[in-house]
Structure 1
């Protein structure tokens, strides 16, 4: 009952637009089942070596970096509405053609193209949240959006595990359908709202708009340091999409459907606990403290994998990693939104998105390299050490950036 009441309390005050942004995200991410199975698809179905799989997965990261940069740039120039529309509708056909080009070169190129277009969506979506959410509800709005993402990821991998057991091609088809349907719903709900917003903005006095772009995130030294530390965290954390599924397959000997359910379990935990835990953290801790605790917990989740690979330990590790995610990712977005100014939020969200996108370049390559040369145990120990150090540094930097929070 207390948990239910906590849910009701945290949802109060969120706008209809914030809810609809989350619904669009839920539909889009419910179809997002390619990424968690991409490494397994490349090694198991296409028979690429582990090193070549890491290279192809790294092209996903390169495209994600470019997409985050372009998404932020185009959002500030054209508005978040159009960027989200372009991203959703253009990514759908690319998903459909990927299975027809199974060579290393074409697979790398298409994965790069798809991630570039898909990840333009992220900074635009973050800016939309800041536009439609009241300042006092900003973190809750980000949490609601992430809750939708994780509910989608709990549905997607579970369904993906079943579909991939039949044919990997189903993964790409369902991804395309999810992006297209999400695009239709987004346009229907937000088209008129975007027109009203643009008309209000056009009627604003000139002097209010003259100094909109007050600073560039690329010249904001504390924020650059913060973004680098976010990238370091992301390199360790996003093994969730790359080396962890390989660990489940090669060491734990789980079937594809079981891998999908374990990954989907993470989304279920986050959907169940995110809003209450975020609300508790906001009431009892400052943002630097929340980030420190969450990052250390992520490191501990990897240490647990040293104890064995039975399903109970895997679920315990995933539970701790999921709670860590709850206490890190939405508050990292909040720090970015608080640091940005009106008119350049797209650039700030884009740079922060780039920081996370770099993880998709380095995580597959570093993860598969460390595993092939030193084994999974070395990867888990190294990840804990890096995360513990980054937790301390992020605590210091964020405390200086937003001292009152």
Structure 2
């Protein structure tokens, strides 16, 4: 265990202006980031088929994977602050055009490309933003910093759906235009409050390798690849809460209001408890909370196969899942920031790409297994629990130091 560290409130009080700007910008952007949660509803309202709406979700996920990789590379070329501005402005433009381009009367290639671009720009700014956060937080406060950023995003995610629902009752176009306005606000905040690091990024790039060579270095780090595998598999499990679980609850004959209750419990727990839990677990080596939390999260998701018929059982499963998420989440997302600055953006981008890939792959696998045999999806989650735990142990546990030979006298 490490020595004691500053409290949550001390950390919040001492955060720099760029970090506060990221917290505010992240909250505002997520408050209006409606496309991820409401794309299916929007497409069905526009009279797309259910198959086309499902394809839209997949395309959004594929765009997200490419966006994280592009964002990590772009941050090294033009500076992380500039990459955040470019990414959020591009997101604003892409979502503002959605009411005109995502319509069933247009060829699939056009509305499909529009969705891919929304997914790409929705993630492009995230690796540069995470790199800025790591640059402006002391090394012993990295996990707390990422936890604060997650809290800001979760606050926006908790309020945003209520706003989107109200806007959709007036006009679906308003949903996307407010999304564009929120993304533009984040760009303005970044421009005003985050220092331009382009010169520093250029200097660092001149002393290291090309972006392709940097990516090669990251991908040749087999221990980090094991960590990425754990992130990918655990996100496949995690996304079942949002893809397969509502279908499974409905199949038991329960009201979907039960599912809404679970989501509310999840949001309230994260907002109320994550910073406190992070303050406790960050005292330990990173691999310990990552291993314990990820195992608890994945086991809890697999337990839905046993608790589906009981609302109290479902609530117990979701509580355990969120406790696991809060234990491992900040550490898993902060871990890539521990690598050297010259490659940090690439490590962060690779991590977020693995997470996005799991979120894109998970619904396809989970729903397919559920339709074939409902219990298979929860068995899959149990198997992936063991695989994720093993990969975290291999990838994150520090290498054993060779014993110092005794000196004879």
Normalising by structure 2, we get a TM-score of 0.83
Whole-Å separation in 2 of the counterparts to 1:48 and 1:239: 22
Conservation of the 8 A alpha-carbon contact between 2:23 and 2:149: yes
Please tell me whether residue 254 in structure 1 is matched to residue 256 in structure 2: yes
Check 1:199–1:73 CA distance in 2 against 1; reply closer, same or farther (3 A cut).
closer
Check 1:199–1:75 CA distance in 2 against 1; reply closer, same or farther (3 A cut).
closer
Higher relative contact order by CA 8 Å / sep ≥ 6: 1 or 2? 1
The answer for the alignment partner of 2:407 in structure 1 is none
Conservation of the 8 A alpha-carbon contact between 1:89 and 1:180: yes
RMSD: 3.0
1:162 to partner: Cα distance: 4.8
Conservation of the 8 A alpha-carbon contact between 1:227 and 1:355: yes
Check 1:320–1:334 CA distance in 2 against 1; reply closer, same or farther (3 A cut).
same
1:189-221 Cα offsets, whole Å, 9 max, x none, are: 22xx22xx556778x8x9x96347795212222
Check 1:297–1:116 CA distance in 2 against 1; reply closer, same or farther (3 A cut).
same
Whole-Å separation in 2 of the counterparts to 1:236 and 1:38: 22
SS at match of 1:253: coil
Count of aligned pairs between the two proteins = 386
Conservation of the 8 A alpha-carbon contact between 1:13 and 1:137: no
1:39-75 Cα offsets, whole Å, 9 max, x none, are: 44445764523x5444321211211111111101111
1:305-333 Cα offsets, whole Å, 9 max, x none, are: 33235654444333332222222222112
The answer for the alignment partner of 2:286 in structure 1 is 287
Conservation of the 8 A alpha-carbon contact between 2:241 and 2:301: no
Please tell me whether residue 69 in structure 1 is matched to residue 69 in structure 2: yes
1:119 to partner: Cα distance: 0.9
Please tell me whether residue 188 in structure 1 is matched to residue 192 in structure 2: yes
The answer for the alignment partner of 1:397 in structure 2 is 395
Whole-Å separation in 2 of the counterparts to 1:308 and 1:209: 56
Whole-Å separation in 2 of the counterparts to 1:35 and 1:359: 15
Please tell me whether residue 144 in structure 1 is matched to residue 145 in structure 2: no
126-135 or 102-111, larger mean C-alpha shift = 102-111
32-41 or 59-68, larger mean C-alpha shift = 32-41
Check 1:86–1:308 CA distance in 2 against 1; reply closer, same or farther (3 A cut).
same
Whole-Å separation in 2 of the counterparts to 1:373 and 1:105: 30
- Residue 207 of structure 2: which of 205, 210, 216 is its match? 210
Whole-Å separation in 2 of the counterparts to 1:155 and 1:314: 23
Please tell me whether residue 366 in structure 1 is matched to residue 368 in structure 2: no
Q: How does 1:47-86 map to 2 (within 5 A)?
A: 48-49=49-50, 51-86=51-86
SS at match of 1:327: helix
Conservation of the 8 A alpha-carbon contact between 1:337 and 1:345: yes
The answer for the alignment partner of 1:98 in structure 2 is 98
Q: How does 1:1-400 map to 2 (within 5 A)?
A: 7-42=8-43, 46=47, 48-49=49-50, 51-100=51-100, 101-103=102-104, 105-164=109-168, 168-190=172-194, 193-194=195-196, 197=197, 210-211=207-208, 216-247=217-248, 252-254=254-256, 262-283=262-283, 285-306=284-305, 307-308=307-308, 312-338=312-338, 340-375=339-374, 377-400=375-398
SS at match of 1:133: coil
